[in-house]
Chain A
Amino acid sequence: MKTLADLEAIRKRTLDNLNTRKDEHSTRVVVGMATCGIAAGARPVMAAFIDEVAKRNLHQVTISQTGCIGLCRLEPIVEITKADEEKVTYCKVTPEIAREIVASHLVNGTVIQKYTIGHIENN
């Protein structure tokens, strides 16, 4: 069973990492979590991001949520903002696509065009 005592160990371990985290460029992952997003499957997408970011120990990545941005038919929508780069909006994201985005976009810096809003809306 996971106990609060485990958290103390995590805390000690992380304090060292956190000092290095400040120097790295941060990346934000924002998942749409209004009724439309949730109904379209945003929760497993969020869970996939949490899981993949934890597995790869990506300390510079913060995951958060937002409400309805008015494009309900394209949900689940995920926005990725990397420091000094333009925001990328991915649409109709699934947990599998979420894991691809982590590997390709967050880790290797390559935007996956075929899942972006520009590509999906124009094809």
Chain B
Amino acid sequence: MRELSLHILDIAQNSITAGASLVTIRIDEQSANDLLTIAIEDDGRGMSEELQKTVNDPFTTTRSTRKIGLGIPLMKAGALRSGGDLAIQSELGKGTKLTATYRLGNIDRPPLGNIAETILSLVAGNPHSPDFILDYRVGEASYSFDTRTIREALKGLPLNLPEVMAWFKDNLKEGIQELHGGA
């Protein structure tokens, strides 16, 4: 995976599989501290202590089609390579939070990539549940996107209507562009 936004999409899929009703994605770019933090938090079924111990192991997976799962180990390797780390906090029945850190200026840090497309794919693929929050900060500036607010505005219409998806795309693109000074 060449972009961190692809890892975000991959990890968020785990939250969906865990039966989450709300998935919060936080991205925080702080160049003053040379730090990029990505956190994905859900209120899904959580992981047992045993599973948490083996979750960084590529030979652990919940999928039934193959015996290896590379999502978390790949993301962790990328974080370690960039002078950061990856940690998971989880409690059965409560949910899971994955936090990955990266040295922003590290030459091995993968680019964030297309965050808008990640959020768009998540919402399009899961229009009924869960809800998604994107909280994206760059220095002092911030952009947030909350499907609960959008659901409310649509008053019962599905989120995956073509016009609504087009609106999402523009809203995300403009919001994220503005964070980076409109460039």
Q: Which residues of A contact B (CB under 8 A)?
A: 1-2, 4, 6-8, 10-11, 13-15, 18, 31, 33-35, 38-39, 42-44, 46-47, 50-51, 53-54, 57-59, 62-65, 67-70, 72
Contacts and interface: CB of A to CB of B under 8 A. Distances in A.
A1 B118 CA distance: 20
Contacts of A69: 65
Interface in B1-23: 1, 6, 9-10, 13, 17
B13 to A, nearest CB: 6
Given A2-B167, A57-B163, 5 more contacts: A1-B174, A4-B150, A46-B125, A53-B165, A59-B161
**Which 4 residue pairs spanning A and B have beta carbons closest together?**
A65-B125, A70-B65, A54-B162, A2-B171
B160 A13 contact: no
Nearest to A63: B124
A34 B63 contact: yes
Instruction: Tell me if B's interface is mostly helix, strand, loop or mixed.
Output: helix
Contacts of B153: 4, 7-8, 11
A89 to B, nearest CB: 15
A39 B1 contact: yes
Interface of B: 1, 6, 9-10, 13, 17, 63, 65-66, 69-71, 74, 114, 117-118, 120-121, 124-127, 149-150, 153-155, 157, 160-167, 169-171, 174-175
Given A4-B150, A43-B6, A54-B166, A65 B121 contact: yes
A62 B63 CA distance: 25
